[in-house]
A = this chain, B = another copy of it.
Amino acid sequence: MTTSADNGDRTLAELMRGLGTRARAAARELARATTAQKDAALRAAAAAIRAGRAGIIAANARDMEAARARGLAQALLDRLLLDAGRVEGMAGSIDEVIALPDPVGQVMAEWTRPNGLRIRRVRVPLGVIGIIYESRPNVTADAGALCLKSGNAVILRGGSESFHSSTAIHRCLQQGLREAGLPEDAIQMVPTTDREAVGYLLGSMQEFVDVVVPRGGRGLIERVMKDARVPVIGHLEGICHTYVHRSADLDMARRITVNAKMRRTGICGATETLLIDRACLDTHYRPIADALVAAGCELRGDAEVCARDPRAKPATEQDWRTEYLDAVISIRVVGGVDEAIGHISRYGSGHTEAIIAEDAAVVERFFRDLDSAILLHNASTQFADGGEFGMGAEIGIATGRIHARGPVGAEQLTSFKYLVLGQGQTRP
């Protein structure tokens, strides 16, 4: 006799292994699918989402009602909400994925050895990808579409608060697969809100899952990184910096800083800290700070900034480590590029940093000595985005150093194999 807890565990384990087994089988089929087949499935999925708009919005209403009853914060409710515009946005994102080049089969390199062996390095899908996300139901469509385009089977695990919305969207994706004659199991969703399922996906499915991509807040990412027994492509935080060097063009520095901070404050590429050279403080500080304040930004500064600007609150040590994702900026005065590099190396998260400068030697130093995924010269940190890089849809910006770094699009969801053509060669 087993206890009910045992039964529950066994059932979950069976459920998850079932998902894994079917994903593996689907991945094998999908790896051979043609671009035309995959695009047909995506087209049918986008059509199903557009046709099923009312049903998706009704499912979302159930999630919203439960979320309100649980007293979820307004920001969370807003992330969860789907309306006609957002449903169309999801379908539109799938259209964009269709327009992307298919990375699978691309020849990455080709060379011939002195013994006549011809070696080709060819892109192949990664295999099975696990996506763990939170409340935004549109991730279901975005991640599903991107994985399908890159020939990967995917196991989606969304937040429990968006379960009904994600289920409705997922149904449309599977309809697309079915209509295109591809295996429905190519895009699966964990069909339970049981929290243990995440632990199982991270810790007990090495055989079935090649990589896990977490999408969400710091708590989720840290949990995934801590518990995962499979490789993780994730980004921790975007504590991005804009550094204004003494050689910076003032007008450019002002425009870029305001854009980098205020265009959208909630994205990971938003600047959180402004570093400014002491040597240009008299000329550059006031116009930049005024423009930030005019745009609605709160200022937090070091002692020099606060002494100069009564609007600035004193920044604490914690401020330099904080991703505000809000209309707040921390400002520190530095003695030059080396001090700026020192600050960023110490407090940054390796995501994106910009330097505004006309001095080429200083830019070179900034580019050489900093090791963030993205370094920009005379441009806004808000360009840290797969679409802006010309890579199309992205699943996130990786801050790790293994496999993918920076925007993670279809190409980054691939591996490769070597094909070697011989004429009877044996190794001496």
Contact = CB atoms under 8 A, between A and B. Distances in A.
Interface of A: 28, 31-32, 111, 113, 117, 119, 124, 126-127, 206, 210-211, 225-226, 229, 231, 249, 252, 255-256, 258-260, 263, 345, 367-369, 371-380, 382-383, 385, 388-390, 400-403, 405-406, 415-427
Contact of A256 (B372, B377, B417, B426): B426
Given A375-B417, A406-B418, A415-B402, A425 B389 contact: no
Contacts of A416: 405
Copies of this chain, count: 2
A388 B422 contact: no
A424 B374 contact: no
Contact of A388 (B113, B372, B375): B113
Contact of A119 (B231, B389, B402, B425): B389
B420 A375 contact: yes
A379 B256 contact: no
A402 B402 contact: yes
Nearest to A27: B371
A415 B405 contact: yes
Contacts of A371: 28, 31, 124, 417
A417 B373 contact: yes
A119 to B, nearest CB: 6
A418 B402 contact: no
B403 A256 contact: no
A415 B401 contact: yes
B389 A418 contact: yes
Nearest to A378: B422
Contacts of A427: 259, 263, 380, 382-383, 385, 388
Given A259-B426, A374-B418, A378-B423, 11 more contacts: A32-B369, A117-B388, A127-B401, A211-B401, A231-B400, A367-B419, A375-B418, A382-B427, A389-B418, A402-B415, A406-B418
